[in-house]
Amino acid sequence: MSKKITVGVVGAGRIGKLHVSNLKKMDNVRLKTVSDLFADQLEDWFRESGAERLTKNYKELIHDPELDAVFICSSTDTHAEIIKEAAGAGKHIFCEKPVSFSDQETLEVYEAVKSAGVKFQLGFNRRYDRNFRKVKQWVEKKVIGDLHVLKITSRDPNPPSLDYVSRSGGIFMDMTIHDFDMARFISGTEVEEVFVHGAALVNPKLAEWGDVDTAVITLKFANGAMGVIDNSRRAVYGYDQRLEAFGSKGAVHVNNETESKVECWSEEGIKSDNLLHFFLERYNEAFDREVKEFIRAIENDSDIQTTFKDGIMAQRIAEAATASLKSGKPVKVRGLDE
Amino acid sequence: MSKKITVGVVGAGRIGKLHVSNLKKMDNVRLKTVSDLFADQLEDWFRESGAERLTKNYKELIHDPELDAVFICSSTDTHAEIIKEAAGAGKHIFCEKPVSFSDQETLEVYEAVKSAGVKFQLGFNRRYDRNFRKVKQWVEKKVIGDLHVLKITSRDPNPPSLDYVSRSGGIFMDMTIHDFDMARFISGTEVEEVFVHGAALVNPKLAEWGDVDTAVITLKFANGAMGVIDNSRRAVYGYDQRLEAFGSKGAVHVNNETESKVECWSEEGIKSDNLLHFFLERYNEAFDREVKEFIRAIENDSDIQTTFKDGIMAQRIAEAATASLKSGKPVKVRGLDE
Amino acid sequence: MSKKITVGVVGAGRIGKLHVSNLKKMDNVRLKTVSDLFADQLEDWFRESGAERLTKNYKELIHDPELDAVFICSSTDTHAEIIKEAAGAGKHIFCEKPVSFSDQETLEVYEAVKSAGVKFQLGFNRRYDRNFRKVKQWVEKKVIGDLHVLKITSRDPNPPSLDYVSRSGGIFMDMTIHDFDMARFISGTEVEEVFVHGAALVNPKLAEWGDVDTAVITLKFANGAMGVIDNSRRAVYGYDQRLEAFGSKGAVHVNNETESKVECWSEEGIKSDNLLHFFLERYNEAFDREVKEFIRAIENDSDIQTTFKDGIMAQRIAEAATASLKSGKPVKVRGLDE
Amino acid sequence: MSKKITVGVVGAGRIGKLHVSNLKKMDNVRLKTVSDLFADQLEDWFRESGAERLTKNYKELIHDPELDAVFICSSTDTHAEIIKEAAGAGKHIFCEKPVSFSDQETLEVYEAVKSAGVKFQLGFNRRYDRNFRKVKQWVEKKVIGDLHVLKITSRDPNPPSLDYVSRSGGIFMDMTIHDFDMARFISGTEVEEVFVHGAALVNPKLAEWGDVDTAVITLKFANGAMGVIDNSRRAVYGYDQRLEAFGSKGAVHVNNETESKVECWSEEGIKSDNLLHFFLERYNEAFDREVKEFIRAIENDSDIQTTFKDGIMAQRIAEAATASLKSGKPVKVRGLDE
């Protein structure tokens, strides 16, 4: 086996810890350092983590000459700064979405990454789900002929705290951004225009931040196809993740994953199994696979599949959606060269 | 249109009434007379029935020169006598199953029908169900290659009264006889041997009559394939009617029919619709179709598909099953030439 | 039984013939006269139809003092005139949708019907489908809590001829009008605003008439909920009719009806049964039930469930949708009092 | 963390390698030695295996004082000898099924294990599948009331080689033994009598060994319930593993696991996803979990769930089944005290 890839992880929140546990299982990875602002409270977790060092200071990690790559899992407002530093230090970068809340800042970071020539992968984990990958392949192979309508249903089991929401950049930047990326991924084309109808139906207080928790979003694709996404912050029956690609020769559907294949038939009818609860369960395999792909790209010096551009475009659709919600009108999505 | 077929119905119980309502809708049928021992209590029903006459005396109907055909829907112990009279009078006969509880008597009646040269159809309604018909065709066309295993699940929603059970001839003659016929219909071959494991699990009192309400029945077919039927007199979730034909190139499954295609997703999981309640609902269409086929065979002087022989053989399997239950051993089924 | 209701049918095209065959089976109906411009070509059909008279001239039927009710199944451009005449003659009216292509004309007819005091039912057959009725009841009973999002998928198996399309009033008036009615029926509230994204993806020639064959339509309901309809004129896999009502306590789904419950498992995977082909098969029962309801309302002098107002409102949503398609912007739906 | 459990693996065939890969991932396990008769050919695999030593001689491993536990994954004819040696050396034992082909020998080994006081777990992996575990719990909690009928369908995708079959002890000892164990596991009671109907329908050559590849097996349970297992060595559509527990208050079903949740709707109908191919894919998680349970039982000195007695009883049912196949009659299963 070739030399191991040495990595560090910035931010040991829910996602950071998940990446650590996946990195730990990989034979070709040396998991060296984890940094977190609240490192003191992470001692117990650290002992079982498989990492060699724990620090409060992410800079220590970024400037460590042994490190090949950095995972950036801290809060969104810190991404831009850390990416620039890491790129400057010549580290390959895996970053959670979104890069930033500002298009201007994102573009600056993009330039920094490009000129540093390091690899950069964005954490659009759903692209690595076996179901969506199969649909992507089938759509590419024209199994459904030409794509006419792409439908995505994406509903969370529970709304986040109001505190979280107030810092999230709004539902489109925080939650729908995954669906926007999925729309681009499956369709293989760009979104040109967005129209949103949204409301705060789960928690009316969200309206105070100008945010919504329920939305229907119409997409106009560059190749003439159309799309629709429907979101809710609370589906009481669990994490609802479905997709339908309809075309001239048929349709492909992704149904929900369930906890088991057990059905109960009783006087009250036929009851199927519950949906997998939330993203950690539903996309468990996908989280593992995206990390493997990133490490493999470094090992083989091959192309990253989920690029910085994917991040920029998903952000721009989210911005257009936010503008459409405010204006009540369809809004064009800016292309990358504008 | 050609001359109408004039019919009479003996016995206006649940099934008799059902046939009457189906006959009433047919343009090419004149529904003349219905006879029932309790005709007095049927006045209200009769007025809406579409029949012209109601009588207590079935002989009046059998010897009516205007009648082309007779439906025999009275209790099983009267079938043999009425069939012989009707055949003697040259009437075509549609008879509910079974012909009788005695093989000897059934064979006598068979001879009478043959020598009279009238058409005779047995009420194995399930053969006319669109699902089982499709499976029959697929098995014939070798869509599943050679048949290896045929599985039938057949469960009633509620057990009949003990009074009914005591006169029913036992579960195999009363209930499983439909499944035995289905096994012959789908496999296109004869059953050679039967082994039964049964018990009175729903109502232990049945044991006093030597009857059971739960059974697993293994079948050995003449062509080398094997079969298994499982029965229960009470499935709390509804009328359970499934079938699976497994062969060298795949399998065909008949799933249950449901009341609707509505699903409810809630905190308690995913709930599908209830099964259709019982045979009147589940085989509603099949009952209609079997009557149409009978009338058509008379009109066109064409062959009857569900023959007297089908009735004899199903009865003989039921007898073998009863004997296996008693002896605890596998029992051969007598062929028709013995 | 009380006196029979005597009816006539204007127009013996596909739908007219269907109503005739359903009326023929009803004990409490006397099917007297059918009129059609091409009566000469209908002699064969007429002999089996159960109707007493066939004429070219619908006026003969409308002014027949024996008739209680008239079914108007002629082409849309003749509806307004015939309704007014029938209402003037005091006949109860069952009319296929839409009443007319012009809101002004529809309102005039509405006044005529109101002042005549006759019963008027519109042919929104899907309201009588057992699946949608169950969903309607569940939504009313708040089984899903408050309605948040209503989703309707409605796709035809094959596009109509260009000739038909050119006279149809456009996809929203011709096809989506059923979905607009369903949206009002299930939600129990009015549609306030519509936004359409549509394109001629199946047959680009439609663009010459300003029409489309593929559309995603966002609806804003008066009670704060939102809706989305997606249409296609050609789903190669059959007539796709699904609905999902999502709310604060769960969701209800209507899945497609299939030809049978047979599944085939082979080397190529698991294949379920095909969808029912088109509306005659899929809504067969619903067509029967809507006619029964109409006759019952006349017999009992009870309220009609699918009213003239339902027709007006569905038409106005269709108009708004047409306007949105043209302008590329969301369009308000006019309320009935404007 | 407490001291690691040190283990060795005897036999690095398909299953041995699988256990090695699962053991390698466990933090609390030190995977020291692997032995295999063909160790020379395993060098490449060994380098990635995570094991410290590879040897031809299993005795080296059994007498290593550092080892706490031994996994016995060699061919069945070697199990008895190795178990006795390992028990004599005081090692905890995980053994693949069956213990041996001879009841006499199995009992001897049982005594050896008991007197050594070591832990012993049998490789009935399916007990650790999340689906069957859920059913087990529900049956115990009487969710379905009293168990009346237990049905197991178990079909392999492809028959093994004739060479393998000739050394396998016959289908009941080799393949159905898993289903016999499942029957005992789910029902929570003993099997008292077995009746088999079997034939060599997939490969008639099997008949030369007195073996079959297709079978329907009826079970009589001690608590009055009944069971039926149907087996085939070749289901062209994949590894078919279903179970249904039917009782006085309803039924629980385990459906097949599929490769994904993707459906394709086309002109040819609705196609669902393929079944998981074979046991390595289908019971992947269960294999992992059974090993974890074994290690945990050693760590905590807690009871083993899949005991030696489970192995003996499953073997005795297999013997009775073999006898029933030969005699064509039902055969009693010997209890453990006989």
Can you tell me the ipTM of this complex? 0.94
**B contact chains, 3+ CB pairs < 8 A:** A, C, D
Per residue in D56-112, pLDDT (tens digit) is 999 999 999 999 999 999 999 999 999 999 999 999 999 999 999 999 999 999 999
CB contact under 8 A, D253 and A262: yes
Closest-CA residue of chain B to D235: B250
Quote the tokens at residue D131: 């689906």
Interface with chain D: mutation pick from A1, A260, A284, A285, highest number of D CBs within 10 Å: A260
pLDDT band at C2 (very low <50, low <70, confident <90, very high): low
Q: What is the pLDDT of residue A2?
A: 62
Kindly report which listed range (A285-294, B31-40, B265-274, C61-70) carries the lowest average pLDDT score: B265-274
* SS3 state of residue D47: helix
Mean pLDDT computed over A107-135 = 97
Three-state secondary-structure class, residue B187: helix
Query: Residue B207 CB: number of other CB atoms within 10 A?
Result: 12
**D191 half-sphere exposure, CB direction, 13 A CA radius:** 35
CB contact under 8 A, C272 and D274: no
Name the residue with higher pLDDT: D277 or B225.
Answer: B225
Q: Hey, are the CB atoms on A328 and C328 less than 8 Å from each other?
A: no
Percent of chain A that is helix, strand, coil (3-state, to 5)? 40, 25, 35
Tell me the per-residue pLDDT of B198-253, one tens digit each, with 9 for 90 and over. 999 999 999 988 999 999 999 999 999 999 999 999 999 999 999 999 999 999 99
- The closest alpha carbon to D148, from B227, B172, B321, B230, belongs to B230
Would you say C85 and C270 are in contact if contact means Cβ atoms under 8 Å apart?
no
Distance in angstroms (rounded) separating the CA atoms of residues A15 and A299: 23
Beta-bridged to residue A178, according to DSSP, are none
Return the closest-CA partner of residue A223 out of A329, A132, A149, A321: A149
Segment C227-237 mean pLDDT: 97
Selecting from C235, C265, C271 the residue whose C-beta is nearest the C-beta of D269 gives: C271
Torsion (CA) A118, A119, A123, A125 in degrees, nearest 10: -170
Q: Which of A52, A37, A55 is nearest to A4 (CA)?
A: A52
Per-residue pLDDT tens over the stretch C27-63: 999 999 999 999 999 999 999 999 999 999 999 999 9
A16: amino acid identity, one letter: G
Contact B260 C130 (CB under 8 A): yes
For chain B, the average pLDDT equals 95
* Distance between CA atoms of residues C170 and B184, nearest Å: 55
Chain B residues touching chain A at CB-CB below 8 Å: 235-237, 265-275
Instruction: Compute the half-sphere exposure of residue B153: CA atoms within 13 Å on the CB side of its CA.
Output: 22
* Phi, psi of A200, rounded to the nearest 5 degrees: -95, 80
Q: How far is CA B87 from the centre of its chain?
A: 21
Distance from CA of D204 to the nearest CA of C (A): 22
Tokens of C274: 């095909």
Alpha-carbon separation of residue A51 from A31, A59, A121, D24, D51 (angstroms): 5, 17, 22, 18, 22
Rg (CA), chain D: 20
Residue type, D315: Q
Count other Cβ atoms within 10 Å, centred on residue D36: 24
Backbone angles phi, psi at D279, to 5 degrees: -65, -30
Q: pLDDT band at C3, cuts 50/70/90?
A: confident
CA C64, CA D298: separation in Å to the nearest integer?
94
In 3D, which of D314, D293, D338, D333 has the Cα closest to residue D120? D293
* Residue that the structure tokens 């409102």 belong to: C313
State what percent of residues in chain D have pLDDT above 90.
93
Q: What is the DSSP letter of B229?
A: E
> Is A270 strand, coil or helix?
strand
β-bridge pairing A29-35 and A5-10 = parallel
Q: Do D261 and A255 touch (CB under 8 A)?
A: yes
> By mean pLDDT, which of A174-183, C267-276, D34-43 is the weakest?
C267-276
CA separation for the pair C309, C106 (Å, rounded): 10
Q: Is the peptide bond before C98 cis (omega within 30 degrees of 0)?
A: yes
> By mean pLDDT, which of B140-149, B254-263, D158-167, D303-312 is the weakest?
D158-167
Residues of A in contact with B265 (CB under 8 A): 235, 237
Positive or negative, the CA dihedral B270, B273, B277, B283 is negative
Of the partner residues A236, A265, A272, the one whose CB lies closest to the CB of residue B270: A272
Closest chain B residue by Cα to residue D204: B224
Q: Which of the two residues, D180 and A168, has the higher pLDDT score?
A: D180
Q: How confident is the model at residue A3 (pLDDT cuts 50, 70, 90)?
A: confident
Q: What is the pLDDT of residue A60?
A: 94
Q: How far is CA D63 from CA D19, D33, D68, D87, in A?
A: 21, 11, 11, 11
**Cβ within 8 Å, pair D255-A263:** yes
Q: Is the pLDDT of residue D2 over 70?
A: no
Of all residues in chain B, the percent with pLDDT exceeding 90 is 93
> Is A286 within 8 Å of D268 (Cβ atoms)?
no
Q: Given a cut of 60, is residue B331 above it in pLDDT?
A: yes
- Which chain D residues touch A if contact means CB-CB below 8 Å? 1, 25, 27, 48, 130-131, 134-135, 138, 143-144, 249-257, 259-267
The shortest CB-CB distance from B269 to any of A265, A267, A274 is to: A274
CB within 8 Å: A261 and D265:
no
Which tokens go with A270? 């036929």
3-state SS, residue D22: helix
Number of H helices, E strands in chain C: 12, 15
- Substitution target in D234, D256, D266, D270 with the highest count of C β-carbons within 10 Å is D270
Instruction: Tell me what pLDDT residue C165 has.
Output: 87
Reported as a pLDDT band with limits 50, 70 and 90, residue D166 is confident
Give the single-character DSSP code of B64. -
Shortest distance between the Cα of B201 and any Cα of chain D, in A, equals 7
Q: Looking at the complex, report in whole angstroms how far the Cα of residue B24 sits from the nearest Cα belonging to chain C.
A: 9
Closest chain D C-alpha to B146 CA, distance in angstroms = 9
CB environment B240-270: b (16+ within 10 A), e (fewer): bbbbbbbbbebbbbbbbbbbbbbbbbbeebb
Q: H helices within chain C, ranges in order?
A: 14-24, 43-49, 58-62, 76-88, 103-116, 130-140, 162-166, 171, 177-187, 279-282, 284-300, 308-327
CB-closest option in A195, A198, A236 to C249? A236
Partner-chain contact C262 B253, CB within 8 Å? yes
Q: Is B226 in contact with D199 (Cβ distance < 8 A)?
A: yes
Contacts of A202 in chain C (CB under 8 A): 148, 248
Which of B147, B223, B228 is the best residue to mutate to test the D interface, defined by the most D CB atoms within 10 Å of its own CB?
A: B228
pLDDT of C69-107, one tens digit each?
999 999 999 999 999 999 999 999 999 999 999 999 999
**Strand B5-10 versus strand B69-72 pairing type:** parallel
Using the structure block, give the residue that is written with the tokens 């994954």.
Answer: D73
Cα(A123)–Cα(A283) distance, integer angstroms: 12
Given A250, A259, A262, which is nearest D252 (Cβ)? A262
Chains that touch A (3 or more CB pairs under 8 A): B, C, D
- Kindly report the three-state secondary structure assignment for every residue of C223-249: CCCEEEEEEECCCCCCCEEEEEEEECC
Using CB atoms, pick whichever of A250, A257, A260 lies closest to residue D261. A257
Bridge-based pairing state of the strands A147-155 and A240-247: antiparallel
Count Cβ atoms within 10 A of the Cβ of residue C88 and give its class: 0-12 exposed, 13-18 middle, 19 or more buried: middle
Six-digit token pair at D310?
């489970």
Distance (Å, whole) CA B199 – CA D250: 18
* Confidence at residue A168, expressed as pLDDT on a 0 to 100 scale: 87
Distance CA C290, CA C97 (A): 13
Cα separation, B292 vs B19, whole angstroms: 10
* Of residues A235, A236, A269, nearest to B271 (C-beta): A269
User: Per-residue pLDDT tens for C159-190?
Assistant: 999 988 888 899 999 999 999 999 999 999 99
CA-CA distance, D120 to D122, in Å (whole number)? 7
What is the DSSP-derived secondary structure letter of residue B161?
Answer: P
Q: Can you tell me the mean pLDDT for C137-160? A: 97
How does pLDDT run across A154-211, given as a tens digit for each residue? 999 999 999 888 888 999 999 999 999 999 999 999 999 999 999 999 999 999 889 9
Taking contacts as CB-CB distances below 8 angstroms, the residues of chain B near C20 are none
User: Does residue A1 surpass a pLDDT of 50?
Assistant: no
Over 50: is that where the pLDDT of A59 sits?
A: yes
8 Å CB contact of D216 and B249 = no
- Check CB contact under 8 Å for C262 and B25: no
Task: Flag if D232 and B246 touch (Cβ within 8 Å).
Answer: yes
Query: Is the bond leading into D157 cis (omega within 30 degrees of zero)?
Result: no
Q: By three-state DSSP, how is residue D321 classified?
A: helix
With a cut of 90, say whether residue B338 has pLDDT above it: no
Residue B56 is classified by DSSP as S
Mean per-residue pLDDT of chain C: 95
For A273, the token pair is: 């199994």
| Chain D CA closest to residue B239 | D250
List the single best residue of D261, D272, D276 to mutate versus A (max A Cβ within 10 A). D261
- Decide if C271 and D271 are in contact by the 8 Å CB cutoff: yes
Q: Which residues of D touch B235 (CB under 8 A)?
A: 246, 251
CB contact under 8 A, D261 and A263: no
Distance from CA of B275 to the nearest CA of A (A): 8
Query: What does the alpha-carbon distance between residue A19 and residue A52 come to, in Å, rounded to a whole number?
Result: 15
Identify all chain A residues contacting D130, using CB atoms and an 8 Å cutoff: 259-260
From start to end of D65-141, where are the E strands? 69-72, 92-95, 120-122
CB-based contact C252 B263, cutoff 8 Å: yes
Contacts of B96 (CB under 8 A, 6+ apart): B15, B72, B73, B76, B79, B122, B123
Out of D155, D237, D251, the one facing B237 most closely (by C-beta) is: D251
- Chains touching D (at least 3 CB pairs under 8 A) are A, B, C
* Whole-prediction pTM: 0.95
CB pairs under 8 A between A and D: 81
Asked if C253 lies within 8 A of B263 by C-beta distance, the reply is: yes
- Identity of the residue in B25, B252, B256 whose CB atom sits nearest the CB atom of C264: B252
